[in-house]
Structure 1
Amino acid sequence: MSKIYLALIFTFLMSSCAFQTLHRNKDINYISPNTLENLPNKSLDVYAPKKADNLPVLVFFYGGSWKSGRKEMYHFLGNRLARRDVIVVIADYPLSPDFEIPEMQASALAAVNWTKDTIENYGGDPDRIFVSGHSAGGHLASLIAVKENELEPSENGKKLAGSILIDAAGLDMYGYLEKMSEGEGKKYLNAFTEDPAVWREYSSIYFLTEKLSPMLILEGERTYPSIRASRERFMKRIEEKGIENVRVKIFPKKKHIPMITQFLWTGSRVYTDVLGFIEEKSTDDF
């Protein structure tokens, strides 16, 4: 390969977003004194371009069956999206068996409220905040989306710009555990308790309204049957209520874990879908 050709490649790469300088602010405590007393101190990381100015923001919650995971495992997601001019907030949250789903949702809600209050300091736009997550994290993001009234508004009165659910679990946890709590679903009872009222309270399918912010659902064609079935029931309820701003995209041949690991490759189609949705809904008068 000629030196001229190598120089051209190097020049192209250096001018691309892959080399954009980032600020990574790590281990920021987001639990305030006004939050529920029984929440443990948890922290988040913020990934932002060095010269960020009024950019859209993605708050991401990782998966792990509500019992495992940590924000440091997802630095690739923060890095790659920040280099495409999206500020990314990745938050830890309480996990089972030490904590249950009410504390997890309260913590996730606190992380989003912290973002709304603080993200301007990092170059983000509090009026363009999207919530997202994979698997169990997608479940938490969905709860925030359908219970948007629990969020604090920005100074302009706006709350969420939208949500992006990546192979989200538990959209109808009540329907799933009602049938499976004595079988394969028993492993989730540490998080969801044995109380069917709790299962229902933390199933986003039962809180859908016409006021739902725009939602993008990304699902692997070969995901777990329980995730597919729950999403299908969720979409049936969406249709019954006449909600029109929910979009589903199925990724051919993709299984559950590859739905998040595909973010490792910058040329993956998932970036086109996610960034396109953020750009589109960032300009909507929502």
Structure 2
Amino acid sequence: MPSPILPISNHPSSSASASTMLLKAKIDADPSTTLLISSQEKAISIKPVLPRSSSFNNTSNINNSTAFTNNQQQRRRRTASDSSLALLADESPRQSLSREVGHAAAETFLLTRLSLKLLSYLGVGYRWITRFLALGCYALLLMPGFIQVGYYYFFSRQVRRSVIYGEQPRNRLDLYLPKNSHGTKPVVAFVTGGAWIIGYKAWGSLLGQQLSERDIIVACIDYRNFPQGTISDMVEDASQGISFVYNNIAEYGGDPNRIYLMGQSAGAHIAACTLIKQAIKEAGEGDSVSWSVSQIKAYFGLSGGYNLFNLIDHFHSRGLYRSIFLSIMEGEDSLRQFSPEVLVQDSNIKHAVSLLPPIILFHGTGDYSIPADASKNFADTLRRLGGKAESILYEGKTHTDLFLQDPMRGGTDEMFEDLVAIIHAEDEDALAKDAVAPPRRRLVPEFMLKLAHNVSPF
């Protein structure tokens, strides 16, 4: 698969070399390679990070030495994160919104192109047509909640959108900050779901809003989806996002010693793969790391799948066809490498398992997208190997009940309260505040939530 190209703010001049023009032609011919060009980015003096393969700079001589070009690119990479933080601090709300609208338009164009390519893989059959129709009805029924959450996402001063954490496309994250800035806060690094295909950082905005109301900072990490990337790219992106959170969250009032990793659905699988891969790397000798599993207080998996061998036929029956799934997971030979439940049983990485933080897996027993046994079996396997793990099951809850319908229902949400109680377990003041916290307001009428439960394609 061709390597994606990062956002570029400067176009090549008319006197560009022949090699530059050939590269541009290659980009235009490849539908999976995308140039995200925002008109607002042209007005920003800070240059975004460029890929290793090319550098477009109108003020530089194309014939400069390779060493000079590499030095320029390295300086851009080192300053990418700092530049994004400085930009966020200097922009007015109007400039920030304008920049985000331009970025959203560019990403919409990107997602449209990727969706068309994805449809070429899936084909347009009866099963997918009915699922798309069900998805449209489901979204329409929850629209009152989506509108309110969307308004918060775009207009709240507590949200820092699209902070750059790496040099690849979609290497951005959103930060949700509590209104109370007194003292340092626990942090949840959250990887959203989306069947490895439609994941997006904004999907975590409802969770981010509600956790920030309990004095918890949330970082929603975006990552490349298929066909823009495969599972290795997703794990790499998640790892870079976690590293950025650990090394920069103190600037936002977060406590680097109280970071929790969380994922939902496909995001739970990606986050678990990332965590185990990091533990294996640390258990080896001489491997350099930018973050450590010892810095993660606990891992929360929500409605995730951890044994791909047990799930591939189930996904095929539900429309995520075997050929597509194997393409996402880089072939049948890679299933073991990206099945956390199978991987931890390898005797060669026994020491790596002992490095893992406590693992808590939430799942609804009524989940028909990923059966609850996926979490239960993974927790049982980890305990048998000496790890700290538990599964918490919620009777009758489906794949989307725990993440969308229940939070939009308002009042008391059992899974949410369990999550907050674990995060605040060692903070008596926070627990006291949780005990008197007002019930959350309802976002969607009950009858619409029940209809959404019935028509959900997930």
User: What range describes the TM-score normalised by the shorter chain of this pair?
Assistant: 0.7 to 0.9
- Among 212, 228, 252, which residue is 2:372 paired with? 228
| Structure 1 residue 143, shift from structure 2 partner | 1.8
Provide the residue aligned with 1:152 in structure 2.
290
Contact 2:188 / 2:218 at 8 angstroms: preserved in 1?
yes
Contact 1:100 / 1:193 at 8 angstroms: preserved in 2?
yes
| Structure 1 residue 52, shift from structure 2 partner | 5.0
Rounded Cα–Cα distance in structure 2 between residues aligned with 1:58 and 1:49: 12
Structure 1 stretch displaced more, 226-235 or 102-111: 226-235
Closer/same/farther in 2, CA of residues 193 and 227 from structure 1, 3 Å limit: farther
TM-score, length-scaled by structure 2:
0.51
Alignment partner of 1:44 is 2:181: no
Name the aligned partner's letter for residue 204 of structure 1. Answer: P
Contact 1:57 / 1:89 at 8 angstroms: preserved in 2?
yes
Unaligned runs of 5+ in 1: 1-20, 33-38
Alignment partner of 1:136 is 2:266: yes
Closer/same/farther in 2, CA of residues 118 and 72 from structure 1, 3 Å limit: same
Provide the residue aligned with 1:279 in structure 2.
424
- SS across alignment from 1:218: strand
Provide the residue aligned with 1:191 in structure 2.
328
Rounded Cα–Cα distance in structure 2 between residues aligned with 1:172 and 1:249: 18
Unaligned runs of 5+ in 2: 1-155, 282-288, 345-352, 429-458
Provide the residue aligned with 2:399 in structure 1.
256
- State the Cα deviation string for residues 27-52 of structure 1 (Å, max 9, x = none): 111105xxxxxx42421110112315
Name the aligned partner's letter for residue 238 of structure 1. Answer: L
- SS across alignment from 1:280: coil
Indicate the percent of aligned positions where both proteins have the same amino acid.
23
Name the aligned partner's letter for residue 164 of structure 1. Answer: F
- SS across alignment from 2:218: strand
Aligned residues: 251
Structure 2 counterparts to residues 6-155 of structure 1, below 5 A: 23-32=158-167, 39-50=168-179, 51-149=181-279, 150=281, 152-153=290-291
Larger proportion of helix:
2
Structure of greater Rg: 2
Q: Report which structure shows greater RCO (CA 8 Å, sep ≥6).
A: 1
- SS across alignment from 1:200: coil
Rounded Cα–Cα distance in structure 2 between residues aligned with 1:22 and 1:274: 25
TM-score, length-scaled by structure 1:
0.79
Contact 1:128 / 1:282 at 8 angstroms: preserved in 2?
no
Rounded Cα–Cα distance in structure 1 between residues aligned with 2:374 and 2:206: 29
Closer/same/farther in 2, CA of residues 75 and 159 from structure 1, 3 Å limit: same
Closer/same/farther in 2, CA of residues 228 and 181 from structure 1, 3 Å limit: closer
| Structure 1 residue 109, shift from structure 2 partner | 0.6
Rounded Cα–Cα distance in structure 2 between residues aligned with 1:165 and 1:101: 18
- State the Cα deviation string for residues 103-161 of structure 1 (Å, max 9, x = none): 0000001100000010001100111111111100111121233334356347xx94211
RMSD: 2.5
Rounded Cα–Cα distance in structure 2 between residues aligned with 1:266 and 1:82: 17
Closer/same/farther in 2, CA of residues 240 and 165 from structure 1, 3 Å limit: same
Provide the residue aligned with 2:341 in structure 1.
205
